[in-house]
Structure 1
Amino acid sequence: MKLKTTLTALAALVLGLSGASAFAQVVGVSWSNFQEERWKTDEKAIKDQLAKLGASYISADAGGSPEKQLSDVDSLIAKGAKVLIVLAMDKDAILPAVNKAAQQKIPVVAYDRLIEAPGVFYITFDNVEVGRMQARAVFEAKPKGNYVMIKGSPTDPNANFL
């Protein structure tokens, strides 16, 4: 339910940013690495919400490559994206693409991973609560012992929240 609420808010934000009116908007989504199962779930929910609002969906998968993600964003813009949703592979490497979008007055929404740039909107989940849930699951499975905390990539600012 929380995912649906978050994605409904995302869709409303995206269309609000684009100044959507009676005509359909094209929303481009740049995925960092679509091989992760959760992004497939998120994509379906995003597509469903955008369809309800009359928007078109286009996407590209960077396959884990920050360099490819830059060209993906260029491609989404060339295909007519009026709003971009970006799940950044690398918060710093994506900045040239974000700046290019800003120059063309294309709003950018950072999805789940913070992009620290002026004018970029950020929507995410409650990462602190996600960390708590992970810890509870570990302690339920193995209440005592030595644990190693693997928080994620240093290029993902959210890793510090978990």
Structure 2
Amino acid sequence: MANTFKELPLAEITLRKYEKPSAENERDLVKKFCLGLGLLQPGDSRDIIIDILLILLKSEKPIKSDELREEVIEYRKLMNLPLTGIAHSNIRRQLLRLKNLYLIEKKSDGYRITENTSLREILLQRIKPILLEQTYNRILEYAETIDKNVRKCAE
């Protein structure tokens, strides 16, 4: 029986480089961070993930998803932003996306920034070694296999 190739990725990350951060407002800084990590697409109006991450960054204690949703609604009203993407299911989906990138973790009392640490530490300790290096190494394995089996290149 032939091996079947699964197109479902084991992990996925998109990186984008933007200009150096400036003293922008906090929402714009978080937006550029989300864009840089591929959590948000350029020009995407569905930007609720920015507000979710911003509220979690400012919170001193874990927040349950229902409470987080209410805070997001209040924040978006305060900022005169449209109340799109605030359905419970979408909030949970965005939380899962943040969790899959190791930015947040779920505890028994709610969601919080991973280990209550800095984003810099999360990038250095989790995203770089776990997602970036492992993904890069797997792509390198594909390149080596292609060179060996398809191109018949010597190593």
| Superposed pair shares fold, TM > 0.5 | no
Give the TM-score, by structure 1 length: 0.27
Determine which structure has the larger helix proportion and give its number.
Answer: 2
Which one has a bigger Cα radius of gyration? 2
Determine which structure has the larger strand proportion and give its number.
Answer: 1
Give the TM-score, by structure 2 length: 0.27
Query: With CA pairs under 8 Å and 6+ residues apart, which has the higher RCO, 1 or 2?
Result: 1
